[in-house]
Structure 1
Amino acid sequence: MIVVENKRIGEIPLLHLAQKELFDEKLPLVIFVHGFTSAKEHNLHYAYLLAEKGFRVVLPEALYHGERKPTLSKHDLNIRFWEIVLKMIDDLDLIKTYFEGENKIDSQKIGLAGTSMGGIVTLGALTKYPWVKSAVSLMGMPYYEKFALWQLEELKKNNITLPLAQSDLDQLLNQLRELDLSLQPEKLANRPLLFWHGKQDTVVPYHFTYQFYKEIKTLYKKNPEYLQFISDEHADHKVSRDGVLKTVEWFEKHLLSSDMMYITSLGEPSSIK
């Protein structure tokens, strides 16, 4: 049986899942971040499948989303996109520290994943947190500065004035450069990384992500199996079932060692390989 706990860590609402028999044990952790205008509950299918494999799974709520959502228009939410991303990256460390303090996670086996905005968060977090041991970006991209500048140009085209002074904007761009994985790919440090992206995606363009993948392939020449890009020829901005299953397989392969023993829902030990 999979237990789903609705809880808060400080101001962060989250869903916390694990097998009932393992709920108080020290387990590998996967944090899964939802997309823009989505909510934590929308990724329960990922969490359930991961929990079945023996992971502790956390689905946090992003700022201005779900339970944290004030009365903001879509326009106002768009303007706050990077504020949301930066806050979620900070929140990740609070979540990890909490579960470490509860002795509920194996700190050497922590995975991070997300869809769309969550994939963008994931790739930025890799520049900041060595404790992320494996990651999956689903429809995300690493070009923080480039993407932000493109967004600014789009606002100008639509005669929309960003409610930021130039000094505040400069400060934001500096923050984004610090978390821009495309500017510091060496921080990947050979950690296992999977990309999934639909070729028909018009929200987060496919070619940006694939270009980055090609650029970093040389960094993984000693362990090419640690880097993978899955292209879906027909998908737009929605992950296919195959993408969901490949995400679970990736963490099973790179965070669960073959000699680990977990109790199944039937109470029998089983080796995860």
Structure 2
Amino acid sequence: MYTKEGLEEVFIKGIRCLLAKPEKDNGHTLIFYHGWGSIPENQAFSAKILASYGFTVILPEIIHHGTRNPFPNPFDTEVLQKNFWKVVLHSVEEAEGLISCAVKSGLAKEGKICLIGSSTGGVIASGVFVEVSSITSLVTLNGSPAWEETEHLWRKSDGRPPAAEEELAQIRKYDPINRLENLKQRPVLMLHGSHDERIPSQGPKKFYDEAKKINDFVQYREYWNVTHTISLNMMEEMINWLMEIHK
């Protein structure tokens, strides 16, 4: 089945995904996670662009979005605050099965897989990256691999009290900044808008400052006056980086 955007609908380990196939396959697969309150279809244009460069692109649908028991109003403050980390943690925990199934089905090859995430998708992708060692590289677009720091910044901005220790324990378990040893020397690219009002840039900056001490292939770039959106310049830099890393 194909969507109106022209992408193939597939189910990988029971997870609905959209698939963009290249005309000339370069042998590499990109798994691209969408953001909060979004759906895979909203990344269809980006997927087509990436496929035009030879990449197979898989767009997973995250839990409680799209067709997966979606929240009626995902941006309701209570819904967002209560469920954000539950969705992130669930997505990280189910990712290894999805990736393994994608390899078995021929949609991806071991050692030739890159994770990409936009916004919440970047939070998820960074968690998966430090969990699954077979992933080759990571790109976050307005996401944050410093989970506890980002939660602290959100609570401070909202005027909420600090998170309970029980909730922090769950976040810390998978927080990429606590698992830097799992980065090894795998390439990471973080692109962020300087005026992002949803996910503060302090999170990825903190991760970069720590990760660069042990990884020579971590890059962070901030785009001046860009808010919580993917600019054309960000897309161009990501593609150039992907083409260089995945020759």
TM-score w.r.t. length of structure 1: 0.78
| Corresponding position of 1:99 | 102
| Corresponding position of 2:220 | 229
AA aligned opposite 1:251: L
| Corresponding position of 1:108 | 111
Cα distance change, pair 8–56 in 1 and its aligned pair in 2 (3 A):
same
- Counterpart Cα distance in 2 of 1:13 and 1:30: 16
Shift of 1:212: 2.2
Counting matched residue pairs gives 239
8 Å CA contact 1:202–1:236 kept in 2: the answer is yes
* Counterpart selection for 2:195 from 190, 193, 200: 200
Shift of 1:61: 0.7
| Corresponding position of 2:43 | 43
8 Å CA contact 2:150–2:203 kept in 1: the answer is no
8 Å CA contact 1:115–1:139 kept in 2: the answer is yes
Shift of 1:92: 2.1
Superposed CA RMSD in Å reads 2.5
| Corresponding position of 1:264 | none
| Corresponding position of 1:117 | 120
Q: Which has the larger radius of gyration?
A: 1
| Corresponding position of 2:18 | 15
- Counterpart Cα distance in 1 of 2:171 and 2:30: 24
- Counterpart Cα distance in 1 of 2:172 and 2:160: 24
Q: Deviations over 1:223-263 (max 9, x none)?
A: 4xx222121111011110111122222222112x2xxxxxx
Shift of 1:155: 7.2
Q: Are residue 144 (structure 1) and residue 153 (structure 2) matched?
A: no
- Counterpart Cα distance in 2 of 1:21 and 1:137: 25
AA aligned opposite 2:243: E
AA aligned opposite 1:241: L
SS in 2 for 1:125: helix
- Counterpart Cα distance in 2 of 1:8 and 1:103: 13
SS in 2 for 1:252: helix
Alignment of 1:54-93 (within 5 A): 54-73=54-73, 74=76, 75-93=78-96
- Counterpart Cα distance in 2 of 1:142 and 1:206: 11
| Bigger fraction of residues in strand | 1
Q: Deviations over 1:153-206 (max 9, x none)?
A: 777749xxx9xxx7xx71x43332121121222221111110101111121111
- Counterpart Cα distance in 2 of 1:145 and 1:71: 24
| Corresponding position of 1:184 | 179
* Deviant stretches of 4+, over 4 Å: 149-156
- Counterpart Cα distance in 1 of 2:125 and 2:32: 9
Shift of 1:59: 0.3
